[in-house]
Amino acid sequence: MEHVILVRYGEIALKGLNRNYFIELLAKNIRNTLRSVPSAKVKKIQGRLIVNVNDEDLNRAMERVQKVFGIVSISPAIVIDSNIEVIEENAIKQVRAAEGIKTFKITAKRGDKTFPIKSPDLCCRLGEVVLDAVPEITVDIHNPDLNLWVEVREQTYMYHEFIAGNGGLPVGCSGKGALLLSGGIDSPVAGYLMAKRGVEVIGVYFHSFPFTSDRTKEKVIDLAKIMSQYCGKIKLFVVPFTEVQTKIVELCPERQTTIIMRRYMMRIAEMIARNEEAKALITGESLGQVASQTMEGLAATNAVAELPVFRPLIGFDKTEIVKIAETIGTFETSILPYEDCCTIFVPKHPETKPKVSEMLRSEEKISEMMVQMMATAVANSEVVKL
């Protein structure tokens, strides 16, 4: 008897002629997440993906597979021959192995139409043999203690447990985006949500050493590692930002420094995005959360970007964002009390309704020198592959 993981995909099933592309990409992403599990093999059958794995690797593999976007649920299953005597024998074994049950139900699905027994007849037949073999339990078709599923396909899969996946689309099917990743709570959640819609994420972190310490950089790397459990491989660019940031603070009006800094972050992130053939920028901004995230502030930062800017958290409040961060496991790392380049040099009275024309006038003093400073920052970026 062989154990496998039975993988169900949801939204992909709604695709038309290109459905196979999405399924192949999902299979590839599952293989990538299981690359450290040598026994794992992924194969495609009608309407499902099957992961064959050694028994000792089963739990570890399930933990990883359920995080892959594009999967709605998985089930640990046994695989047996599509022979009615073998199916009956194993149905009895599965029911007997279930501890403490008083009621059961058989749900049979005949995917292989050459199998001679139709689904309703197979349910009845298996129910009868189980009742004969285990007379101390009864059938309950509405609320059974155990619902034993039997799927007759190219082989027969038998299982009783459903483990929810994260849904969404396979990472990579919607292109690539550059995520402005800080050490805070919001940006990892924003990256997670865009990856869930199939976007391959690269990270761009702005490091202002010595104002932000190497502990902060390690914290961001740790956040990217956690995200990679869902998003797949992540390429993280650590951008040296000290010279750019200090020049802004030195030469620009204090009230405008936060917005102008954000505008240069967007410019640098877009340079990296274009180098990496990314088609969009992603930020963790939420409308009204801080002084720079007013409509006017977001318009001022948008004005410097030619690529689309995705803000998946724009309508979320902090409680909702924290809840997702806790669910995906980034929250505890995000709240470590290390410095953030966005929170150093914060003006006492920041501009909340900036005008683009005023930003441009203020940037005239630094725009020429910034061309070279931005190019240097991009060229000297450290690349961390996770």
Question: Which pLDDT band, with edges at 50, 70 and 90, does 16 fall under?
Answer: confident
Count the neighbouring beta carbons within 10 Å of the beta carbon of residue 56.
Answer: 8
pLDDT of 342 strictly over 70: no
What is the rounded CA–CA span in Å between residue 193 and residue 171? 11
Q: What distances in angstroms separate CA 326 from CA 58, 167, 168, 274, 314, one per listed residue?
A: 25, 18, 19, 32, 19
Which residue numbers belong to the known binding site?
A: 180-181, 205-206, 262, 284, 293
pLDDT of 343 strictly over 80: no
pLDDT of 341 strictly over 70: no
Check: CB of residue 50 under 8 Å from CB of residue 6. Answer: yes
Cβ-based burial of 87 (10 A; exposed 0-12, middle 13-18, buried ≥19): buried
Count the neighbouring beta carbons within 10 Å of the beta carbon of residue 188.
Answer: 32
Please state which CATH class domain 2-164 belongs to: alpha beta
- β-pair partners for 103: 138
- Neighbouring residues of 372: CB distance < 8 A, sequence distance ≥ 6: none
Task: Compute the 3-state secondary structure of the chain and give helix, strand, coil in percent, each to the nearest 5.
Answer: 45, 20, 35
Q: What is the pLDDT of residue 346?
A: 76
81 against 346, higher pLDDT: 81
Count the neighbouring beta carbons within 10 Å of the beta carbon of residue 118.
Answer: 11
CATH superfamily of 176-385: HUPs (3.40.50.620)
118-143: pLDDT as tens digits: 999 999 999 999 999 999 999 999 99
Render 140-205 in DSSP notation, one character per residue: -SSS-SEEEEEEESSSEEEE---EEEEESB-TTTT-EEEEE--SSSHHHHHHHHHHHBT-EEEEEE
Percent above pLDDT 70 for the chain: 98
User: Looking at residues 304-327, what average pLDDT do you find?
Assistant: 98
Q: What is the pLDDT of residue 373?
A: 97
Which residue numbers belong to the known binding site for ATP?
A: 180-181, 205-206, 262, 284, 293
Cβ-count burial 234-270 (b if 16+ within 10 Å, e if not): bbbbbbbbbebbebbeeebeebbbbbbbbbbbbbbbb
What is the rounded CA–CA span in Å between residue 161 and residue 146? 9
Positions of E strands within the chain:
2-9, 41-45, 48-52, 71-80, 103-110, 138-139, 146-152, 156-159, 163-167, 176-180, 200-207, 235-240, 280-282, 309-310, 382-385
Torsion of CA 258, 194, 324, 12, to 10 degrees: 170
237-253: pLDDT as tens digits: 999 999 999 999 999 99
Q: So where are the chain's domains?
A: 2-164, 176-385
pTM of structure: 0.92
